[in-house]
Amino acid sequence: MSRSPAALNAVRTIGSTPSWGAAAAEGLLETLLDQERPFPCTFAVAAAKKQSLRFGFVDSPHDESTWAPLADILREYLDIYRQLGKDTSLVVLFRPDDEPRTLDEYFDRFWAVLQYLHDGDTEPWPESTPLDPEDLWWEFSYGGTEIFVVCNTPAHTARHSRHNPGFMITFQPRWVFEGLEADTPRGAKARQVIRNRIRRFDGMEPAAQLGNHGEEGNREWRQYFLPDSAEGSTPACPFLARASARTPAAGAGKAASPDGTWSVLINDEGQFSLWSATVPVPDHWRETGISGDRTACLAQVAHAWTDMRPATSRRRSLEPV
């Protein structure tokens, strides 16, 4: 299929472009710029038209050894995004898989990538951003910036708005949504337009996971990776905030000790975190006695941490009304 001049001219990249990269980016732009079949996200369409999208490329969503360029790509984008205007996003495309993968596999890969970024982040999270994904105001953050994240995969075959031939992650700084809150006329109108476009584009109702930041019942992380059907559910969020997420501590940005050993910490609220075994335990955290490689530690935490609410929240829920 020939590429339109608009798609060819709108590719703006950060980092190196692999041999497969240009075609992958141009294919996405054609979808966003298709006037006969309008894409649901009007923000993405506007960014494509204004050429304020930025693209980055990573070799594999399954091989962590290829992810190092992603941190550099995201940091460079966060240095320039305000110069690009409110209609902007960073689209990171991964090399298409040679064999089919399941939606569950991609769900695991998506959160592994975000965890990888978080574990290597040298900047503290914004003070106003909760660390618990179950908090109404939680949002993924990197480099001190709140970022709304969206994942598209080849396994999304029914929900077309979340389909892409290769694994894809889009990063949107929350700054782009300022002035478009749900309780503003512009924000309410934009959401109505997007939901109507979803119905036409996907041929189904918008996912129940879609909501408004800070709204009762909404959880931002559920919107990041949607199920492939209107009735589909979302697995539990596996994200673990590192113990140093509030302040840059010695060892921040070091994923683990040189021998790859992690320790599992717990705080007074019953929340867990992974921590480099070579870095002193921060205040208000204590060791659980669990240590080892990252995969083993995460498995232990997943088994133990079945309710991610802070202990005070769990106690309040048990109090008589």
What is the rounded distance in angstroms from the CA atom of residue 127 to the CA atom of residue 217? 22
Report the pLDDT value the prediction gives residue 310, as an integer from 0 to 100.
67
What is the rounded distance in angstroms from the CA atom of residue 14 to the CA atom of residue 179? 28
Report the pLDDT value the prediction gives residue 272, as an integer from 0 to 100.
82
Report the pLDDT value the prediction gives residue 253, as an integer from 0 to 100.
35
Report the pLDDT value the prediction gives residue 74, as an integer from 0 to 100.
98
Q: Determine phi and psi for 76, rounding to 5 degrees.
A: -65, -40
pTM: 0.78
What are the angstrom distances between the C-alpha of 54 and each of 155, 157, 320? 24, 25, 51
CB 139 within 8 A of CB 213: yes
Report the pLDDT value the prediction gives residue 243, as an integer from 0 to 100.
77
| Edge-to-edge strand list for the sheet holding 89-94 | 53-58, 89-94, 168-173, 145-152, 141-142
- What residue type is 27 in one-letter code? G
- What residue type is 162 in one-letter code? R
Report the pLDDT value the prediction gives residue 231, as an integer from 0 to 100.
87
Q: Where are the alpha helices (DSSP H) in 167-253?
A: 185-202, 220-224
Per-residue pLDDT of the chain (321 residues; tens, 9 = 90+): 444 545 445 579 999 999 999 999 999 999 999 999 999 999 999 999 999 999 999 999 999 999 999 999 999 999 999 999 999 999 999 999 999 999 999 999 999 999 999 999 989 999 899 999 999 999 999 999 999 999 999 999 999 999 999 999 999 999 999 998 888 999 999 999 999 999 999 999 999 999 999 999 999 999 999 999 988 998 999 999 987 787 754 333 334 454 567 788 888 878 888 777 666 777 778 888 888 877 788 778 877 877 766 676 666 556 664
Q: How far is CA 77 from the centre of its chain?
A: 15
Contact partners, residue 292, CB within 8 Å, separation at least 6: 261, 262
Burial class, 284, CB count within 10 angstroms (exposed 0-12 / middle 13-18 / buried 19+): exposed
The three-class DSSP label of residue 51 is coil
Q: Where are the alpha helices (DSSP H) in the chain?
A: 5-9, 21-32, 42-50, 68-84, 103-119, 185-202, 220-224, 294-304, 311-318
Report the pLDDT value the prediction gives residue 116, as an integer from 0 to 100.
95
| Nearest Cα to Cα of residue 64 among 117, 21, 22, 143 | 117
CB 113 within 8 A of CB 149: no
Cα 160–239–167 angle (5° rounding)?
Answer: 30
Report the pLDDT value the prediction gives residue 13, as an integer from 0 to 100.
95
Report the pLDDT value the prediction gives residue 320, as an integer from 0 to 100.
60
The token pair at 55 is 């693209």
Report the pLDDT value the prediction gives residue 220, as an integer from 0 to 100.
96
What is the rounded distance in angstroms from the CA atom of residue 129 to the CA atom of residue 126? 5
